Amino acid sequence: MTSASEYVVQPGDTLSAIATQNNTTVDQLVSLNNIANPRLIYPGQRLQLRDTRADDSEAFFSELWIRVSDANDVPIPNLKTTVVTDAGEDEHVTNEHGLVPPVQTKKSDEKVHVFVAKIDGGKKKVAELKPPAGVHQVRLQSPKLKADLPLRVHQGGSDHQEAAPLPLQPGEIQHNRDSAGNPVVNCGVECPNKDNLRLGPNAKYRDFILAASARAGIIPQGIAAFCEAEALKIFIPKLDKDGKPVKNKKSHLTVMLNTGEWNPDSYNEGGAGGLTQFLPNTWHVMATASGSFLHDKIQEKCASEHVTQLPSHEILEMRKDPETAILTAGDYAKMNLQDLRGRGYKLDNVADVDKAKLAYCAHHEGARGLSRIVNGTLDDQDAHKLLVAQFRTKYSDGTEKAKKYEKEVGLTGAAAYKKFLFDYIDSKIKPINFACDPSKLKTPKGIEAILNDIKG
């Protein structure tokens, strides 16, 4: 049920389906309706489809929320910014979140030009954007860092050798002298780095990603893509030009913006929890898997508390710990890949950039289920049941939505389910998005091609 700017949720609806049907995006629906968990909507819920604030004199084609960050993806506050559209030129100063007030365009071919102030005066053009319809967020990341230079007395000789750059963490700053006695400021930035890994707002999880990569035998960009696919995100209030929270006219709640930061303390309606969204049964399997990070951590905890075992709820609570969640995801990926190898599949044919996609597929289907898809033994009846399960919610059994999907794609049975699964995985697992230099990664294959490769 829809109106020009509102939609009433029906049983079995999903945000992605609603967005597609109404020419908008999931991000826009989340932002306008203050949705904390994009996977949880309910029948009868009224969703605002368009921004209908009273101060809008005309309807807009697009609205951009521009966030400016430094080389470590830390928001840059108090940055003088100039935005030019067909309507004219506006000057702003970024707020504490690096945001400027929303920028609106009226036409589909209208461009947004963004300039920022230069340290030595004047301004520099940093972006030319042609936004699609709806409300969107844009992150403009500078390759530089701003550092204060305090005066200090320097004793002794040089403390910085030009041929041996100092290993600094992102955001770390050191003030040194080179071999000629000249002052040198060393700044730690995320990119470039020897691992070619870019995590942006999730850089604090870097060590965990690298450890999981080593355990699983999957490139770190693949582990990061796995986390990105599973983790819910942290949101911040949307602020107007005066720095006040923007309220939704329908619900009177503060409109929220997606920070892109993974939220380790989250659950969905299916019972999956934590940063990597493990279901309880699978988490307990990993808890008993000898040699797994989770198993070893439980044993250490039992020893320190002088008990023989931990209660189930305490083990499940460990899903909230980012290190445990990420490393357990790596262990589970390794377990699934070993299972596939044991079934005779030729995993040596899979490029490093594609192993995360294969592991995610095994995670989704289980090794036996994936085997049926690869071998072509998944029958139409079972495939239809699997497709229905993908659309099932606590308000609907998913049957009608599955039938609607089959009609839309013109396929039924195993063919329809495989298309759904392959499209889902290809859209979710994108290691290239987490590379400092994407050109250093091979072009990834689609999951269907990967599954053909492992047949040999």
Domain ranges of the chain: 62-141, 205-231+266-454
Residue 223: pLDDT band with limits 50, 70, 90: very high
| Rounded distance between C-alpha atoms, residue 62 and residue 101, angstroms | 14
Mean pLDDT is lowest, of 147-156, 405-414, 433-442, for 147-156
Percent residues over pLDDT 70 in the chain:
88
CA distances from 400 to 221, 243, 380, 392, 394 (A): 37, 45, 17, 10, 14
Given its phi and psi angles, is residue 444 left (phi above 0), alpha (psi -120 to 50 degrees) or beta? beta
Average pLDDT, the chain: 85
360-375 residue pLDDT tens: 998 888 888 999 999 9
Helix (H, G, I), strand (E, B) or coil at 382: helix
Q: 180 phi and psi, to 5 degrees?
A: -90, 0
Check whether domain 205-231+266-454 has CATH 1.10.530.10, yes or no:
yes
| Rounded distance between C-alpha atoms, residue 77 and residue 50, angstroms | 29
Looking up tokens 């920028």 gives 103
Looking up tokens 């445990």 gives 324
Produce one character per residue of 381-397: b if its CB has 16 or more CB atoms within 10 Å, e if not. Answer: eebbebbbebbbbeebe
| Rounded distance between C-alpha atoms, residue 55 and residue 52, angstroms | 8
| Rounded distance between C-alpha atoms, residue 264 and residue 35, angstroms | 17
Report DSSP state, residue 388.
H
Given its phi and psi angles, is residue 156 left (phi above 0), alpha (psi -120 to 50 degrees) or beta? left
Q: Which CATH superfamily is domain 62-141 in?
A: Carboxypeptidase-like, regulatory domain (2.60.40.1120)
Helix (H, G, I), strand (E, B) or coil at 36: coil
Q: What does the CA dihedral 384, 387, 391, 396 come to, rounded to 10 degrees?
A: 20
Q: Do domains 62-141 and 205-231+266-454 have the same CATH topology?
A: no
Mean pLDDT is lowest, of 241-250, 262-271, 344-353, for 241-250
Q: Any idea how long the chain is?
A: 456
Choose between 328 and 76: higher pLDDT: 328
Q: Model-level pTM greater than 0.95? A: no
Residues forming a β-bridge with 273: 267, 278
Q: What six digits make up the tokens of 231?
A: 């983790």
Average pLDDT over residues 381-409: 87
Average pLDDT over residues 348-353: 90
